[in-house]
Amino acid sequence: MSALSRHFCRIAGAKKYYFPSPNNDGGEIAVMVHGLIRRGRNMMWLGRRINRAGYAVYLYDYATTTKNISVHGLDFLSFLQQVASNHPGKKINIVTHSMGGIITREALGCIGRGDGNCLKAENIGRIVMMAPPNHGSDMAKVAVKILPFSRRWIKPLGELSSAPDAYIHQVPVPDSFDIGIIAGRFDNKVSQRYTVLYGMKDHTVINTTHSLIMYTRQAAELAINYLRNGRFSEERLSLSGQQRKHGVPDTDPAPDA
């Protein structure tokens, strides 16, 4: 079977499923999770490259504007449980863009540990988040202030605001999981300082924008390296204990363009 052989997946919520070739099967799964006002096809380019690296890939697909973050998180948890049930014993890695990282946090915060569910913390491998608004988005904050009725059309928008009372600050922080974060230097939607997360194992910044980060070759290479090795590059040292403790880089990130 070709590394790019594609079949419609029968698991609800999956846009497509990519099988690795038999001679390049690393025995692990990578689930791709898109961001706000996007669909599963927007992670296809990245998913195919991760597939070529030996991972079976699911493109998770959900209507982002119709539900709140907490409900999206429960839906994604149900999807992960189905994947675990269909692939017993295989590690499930997760690669996200933007709000995809937030619903992943919501889902991981609900994972059972020894409660009989088919999905447990040990089933989850590594997680790569691209441009995640872990501390909200100033753009979302401005949008709901200028257009308060936008909350009706885009239910998670206000929850993604960087305002102190926004729901984003209540989303679980899964510090027991192996998480690496890639931020965009020219991201005008999510500030670099808002991408960091308590317990993250690595954090890096690349020259790209919020909307294009998952289409860049550099982001794909970094994601694959993190899934394989738990860090973004062979030369890059892991974050210090002080960085992991506070969830911020030791040095201030470059300002957004």
| Tokens (6 digits) for 181 | 């974060």
The pLDDT value recorded for residue 103 is 97
3-state helix, strand, coil in the chain (%, to 5): 35, 20, 45
Locate all alpha helices (DSSP H) within the chain, ordered by sequence: 44-52, 69-86, 99-108, 138-146, 150-153, 217-229, 241-246
Break the chain into its structural domains and give their ranges: 6-135+175-246
Mean pLDDT of the chain: 84
Q: Which CATH number fits domain 6-135+175-246: 3.30.1360.10, 3.40.50.1820, 3.30.470.10, 3.40.50.720?
A: 3.40.50.1820
The pLDDT value recorded for residue 4 is 34
The pLDDT value recorded for residue 55 is 95
Mean pLDDT of 146-154: 84
| Beta bridge mates, 183 | 205
90-141 pLDDT, tens digit per residue, is 999 999 999 999 999 999 998 854 444 568 899 999 999 999 999 999 999 9
Q: What is the dihedral of CA 41, 46, 49, 51, to 10 degrees?
A: -60
